[in-house]
Amino acid sequence: MSWALIPLTEEQRAIQRTAREFARTEIAPQAVAWDRDGGFDRRIVQQLGALGFLGMMIPEAYDGLGLDTCTYLVALEEVAVADASAAVLMSVHNSLPTQMILRYGSEAQRLHFLRPMARGESLGAFALSEPDAGSDAASLRTQAVRDGDHYVLNGVKSWVSHGSMADVILCMARTDTSDERKGARGISTFILTPNLPGFGVGKKEDKMGLRGDPTVQLVLDNVRVPAANRLGEEGMGFIYAMQSLENGRLGIAAQAIGIARAALEHSVAYAAERKQFGKPIKEFQAIQFKLADMATRITAARALLYSAAAAKDRGEPITQFASMAKLTATETAMWVTTQAVQIFGGYGYVKEYPVEKLFRDAKVTEIYEGTSEIQRIVIARELYNRT
Ligand SMILES: Cc1cc2nc3c(=O)[nH]c(=O)nc-3n(C[C@H](O)[C@H](O)[C@H](O)COP(=O)(O)OP(=O)(O)OC[C@H]3O[C@@H](n4cnc5c(N)ncnc54)[C@H](O)[C@@H]3O)c2cc1C
């Protein structure tokens, strides 16, 4: 797929080549096994870390690569072409826990937690959702009660991506229970580590797709967390999470574009190879039109994503554009993978061919880090905020 519309720098092209080669040789060959077995080989974390891909937007002073958002997304898209699960691991770690510590953490927290995360020695996760608090995340019920120089956390966090593998978990909990109506304002963020007594990994979800990246519940049973592990100000945790999800949404958009691109690449090749009625199916205009629409939608989604990312890199507000990019890219991924299954016919419906996995992997991009409905709510709200 041509990148001609996005003017990449020499450095970005070099990182793209590295990411593409790594994804092709180290990730792609394992993706089917990860999907089948429902989990990664932990080595993936070390490998991504060795390339600097787990600290791409962290300044060099904290052992990161100090790159901008656009460059990070170029690498992420290449990883996603090979495997959506590896991409979500990279996206969550780079966009949420690391950026939150960088942006809102103390210098001591940055030195202690962020530096090993940037080197890929320590993997980050993000625990906002709960069984009864999904789109309405501000209604979360996990409690953090102050006790001297500690907080005591109790509750269940759900849907935590690679929560069973993570070394550092940014967890949102309610510190102010005096008035339920305080909602978002009564929530704080804590840096948890799995060695804290009372911290447990609960149910692992048996998912439709994205099966390489384990999604688990985290059970917090009287977990005593040092007050020094609170991120930023008490009561600001939900705001920090929402601001960080803007970055996250760009990552999920890149993941979705990677999935869609893989579906298009497989479809182009298959349509040239598969013969019916005495000719390759690419000779049929119905198939050509599908391929043309797939390529056009991917190119449009990517143009929107990189425009939003460039705006972020210029320091401009991107709330609306991040949601537009996520909405467009993820609905594109679902549509493109659906067309890919159709182009493959019966072979598209079986695990022996690659588009079946892409179709399953695409679906979740419309759900996590804000469903498509929530993105539309954000976009519409911003229309009124501006006027
Ligand atoms: C594989 C996977 C990985 C995840 N990883 C993480 C993670 O690492 N950390 C984390 O904190 N969370 C994670 N999540 C949770 C994810 O963010 C939530 O699933 C998502 O926010 C939706 O919440 P819900 O599933 O409770 O659905 P609900 O909020 O119950 O929504 C159900 C339906 O109602 C719609 N809906 C809800 N409210 C409205 C409204 N106001 N207007 C219109 N429609 C509405 C939704 O769009 C959806 O279609 C993950 C989820 C999955 C599936």
- What's the CA gap between 289 and 307, in Å, rounded? 27
Low pLDDT (below 50) residues in the chain: none
> What distance in angstroms lies between residue 136's CA and the mean position of ligand 1's atoms?
8
Q: Determine the distance separating the centroid of ligand 1 and the alpha carbon of 309, expressed in angstroms.
A: 24
What residues are labeled active site? 369
The DSSP annotation for 97-153 comes to: HHHHHHHHS-HHHIIIIIHHHHHTSS-EEEE--BTTBSSSGGG---EEEEETTEEEE
Of 259, 253, 233, 221, the closest CA to residue 340 belongs to 259
140 CB near ligand 1 (under 6 Å):
no
From CA 291, how far away is CA 214, in angstroms rounded?
33
What is the structure's pLDDT at 385?
84
Between the CA of residue 168 and those of 96, 195, 216, what are the distances in Å?
Answer: 11, 10, 15
Which pLDDT belongs to residue 178?
74
User: Ligand 1 pocket: which of 35, 85, 90, 135 to mutate (most atoms <8 Å of CB)?
Assistant: 135
pLDDT in tens, 10-61: 999 999 999 999 999 999 999 999 999 999 989 999 999 999 999 999 999 9
**Residue 278: its pLDDT value, please?**
98
- CA dist 298 and 336 (Å) reads 8
Does ligand 1 lie within 6 Å of residue 238's CB atom? no
Ligand 1: which residue has its CA nearest to atom 42? Answer: 373
Q: How many CA atoms lie within 13 A of 227 on its CB side?
A: 9
Q: What residue's CA is closest to ligand 1, atom 35?
A: 373
Ligand 1 near 8 CB (within 6 A):
no
The C-alpha atoms of residue 337 and residue 220 are separated, in whole angstroms, by 38
pLDDT tens digits for 306-341?
A: 999 999 999 999 999 999 999 999 999 999 999 999
Give me ligand 1 centre to Cα 157, in Å. Answer: 13
Determine if ligand 1 sits within 6 Å of the CB of residue 364. Answer: yes
Atom of ligand 1 nearest to the CA of 377: 42
CB of 215 shorter than 6 A to ligand 1 = yes
pLDDT at 346: 98
Give the number of the atom of ligand 1 that is nearest the alpha carbon of residue 125: 8
The finding on whether 134 has its CB within 6 A of some atom of ligand 1 is yes
How many angstroms does the Cα of residue 95 sit away from the middle of ligand 1?
A: 18
pTM of the model: 0.97
For ligand 1, is residue 129 a contact (CB within 6 Å)? yes
- Whose CA is closest to atom 23 on ligand 1? 134
**Ligand 1 geometric centre to CA of 373 (Å):** 10
Distance from Cα 369 to the centre of ligand 1, integer Å: 7
